[in-house]
Amino acid sequence: MEQILALLPDTPIVAFTILLLVTLTIPPIFEKLRLPGLVGLLVAGVVLGPDGLGFLEPKSEMMKLLSDAGKIYLMFVAGMEIDLEEFRKKKNRSLTFGIATFLLPLICGTLVGQMFGFGLNSSILIGSLIASHTLLGYPIVTRLGVATNEAVTVTIGATIFTDIAALLVLAICVSIHAGEFSPASLAFQLGALAIYSAIVLFGLDWAGKEYFRRTGDEESNQFLFVLLSVFLASVGAQIVNVDKIVGAFLAGLAVNDVVGHGPVEEKVEFVGSTLFIPFFFVGMGLLLDIPAFMESITSGLPLTLAIVGGLLASKLLAALVAKLLFRYNWNEALTMWSLSLPQVAATLAAALAGFRVGLIGEPVFNAVIVLMLVTSILGPVTTAQFASRLPLPKLVSDSRKETDIEPSNKSIWVESDISDQSQQQFTVVVPVYNPLTERYLIEMAALLARHESGAIVPLSIAKALVHMDDPKLRGAIKQSNKLLDRAVAVSEEFKVKADPRIRIDHNVAQGICRTAREENANLIVMGCSETSSLRTRAFGNLIDSVFWASHCPVAVMRLLDEPINIHQVLMPVKSLTPRAVRTVRFAQLFADTNQAKITFLHVCDRRTPKEEALAFKPQLEAVLSEAMPQVKYQIKIVRHDDAAQVILKFAQSSEMVILRSIRSRTAGGLAVSNVTTRVIQGIACSMVLFGEPHS
Name the strand (E) or helix (H) holding 429.
Answer: strand 427-431
- 304 and 403 co-located in one domain: no
List the one residue out of 581, 528, 550, 563 whose CA is nearest residue 451: 563
- 348 and 397 co-located in one domain: no
- 309 and 409 co-located in one domain: no
Across residues 392-416, what is the average pLDDT? 43
- 171 and 256 co-located in one domain: yes
Query: Could you tell me if residue 653 is inside a domain?
Result: yes
Mean pLDDT, the chain, rounded, equals 77
- 97 and 243 co-located in one domain: yes
| pLDDT at res. 142 | 62
Domain-ending residue, one of 387, 421, 454:
387
Contact criterion met (CB below 8 Å) for 592 and 628: yes
442 pLDDT band, cuts 50/70/90, is: very high
657 pLDDT band, cuts 50/70/90, is: very high
Which amino acid appears at position 169 of this protein?
V
pLDDT tens-digit map of 313-326: 999 999 999 889 88
**What are the C-alpha distances in Å from 623 to residues 228, 254, 379, 584, 588?**
48, 40, 35, 9, 11
Q: What string of DSSP letters covers 131-189?
A: T----TTHHHHHHHT-TTSHHHHHHHHHHHHHHHHHHHHHHHHHHHHHS---HHHHHHH
In total, how many domains does the chain have? 2
pLDDT tens-digit map of 210-254: 777 776 656 677 778 888 888 888 888 878 766 677 777 778 877
pLDDT tens-digit map of 378-390: 877 788 778 777 7
List the one residue out of 367, 369, 371, 361 whose CA is nearest residue 118: 361
* Least reliable range by pLDDT among 326-335, 403-412, 635-644: 403-412
Q: The domain spanning residue 208 has which CATH number? A: 1.20.1530.20
- 269 and 177 co-located in one domain: yes
Helix, strand, coil percentages in the chain from 3-state DSSP, rounded to 5: 65, 10, 30
Q: Under 8 Å CB-to-CB from 263, ≥6 apart: which residues?
A: 219, 540, 544, 545, 548, 549
**HEC readout, 564-629:** HHCCEEEEECCCCCHHHHHHHHHHHHHHHHHCCEEEEEEEECCCCCHHHHHCHHHHHHHHHHHCCC
Percent of the chain whose pLDDT exceeds 70: 79
Query: Could you tell me if residue 189 is inside a domain?
Result: yes
pLDDT tens-digit map of 120-161: 878 888 888 888 777 666 656 766 667 667 788 788 777 767
| pLDDT at res. 138 | 64
Query: Could you tell me if residue 562 is inside a domain?
Result: yes
- 398 and 311 co-located in one domain: no
Across residues 650-669, what is the average pLDDT? 71
Query: Could you tell me if residue 47 is inside a domain?
Result: no
- 331 and 400 co-located in one domain: no
| pLDDT at res. 530 | 47
Domain-ending residue, one of 387, 422, 447:
387
List the one residue out of 443, 373, 451, 442 whose CA is nearest residue 410: 451
Q: The domain spanning residue 405 has which CATH number? A: 3.40.50.12370
Higher-confidence residue of 178 and 560: namely: 560
| pLDDT at res. 9 | 63
**HEC readout, 106-123:** HHHHHHHHHHCCCCHHHH
Query: Could you tell me if residue 632 is inside a domain?
Result: yes
Domain-ending residue, one of 387, 403, 437:
387
Query: Could you tell me if residue 289 is inside a domain?
Result: no
| pLDDT at res. 431 | 92
- 182 and 151 co-located in one domain: yes
Q: How far apart are CA 246 and CA 231, in angstroms?
A: 11
| pLDDT at res. 143 | 61
Q: How far apart are CA 520 and CA 157, in angstroms?
A: 37
Domain range for residue 214?
Answer: 81-276+299-387
- 172 and 212 co-located in one domain: yes
Query: Could you tell me if residue 604 is inside a domain?
Result: yes
Q: How far apart are CA 85 and CA 87, in angstroms?
A: 5
pLDDT surpassing 70 at residue 292: no
| pLDDT at res. 112 | 87
- 166 and 315 co-located in one domain: yes
Query: Could you tell me if residue 178 is inside a domain?
Result: yes
Q: How far apart are CA 588 and CA 623, in angstroms?
A: 11
- 191 and 323 co-located in one domain: yes
| pLDDT at res. 276 | 79
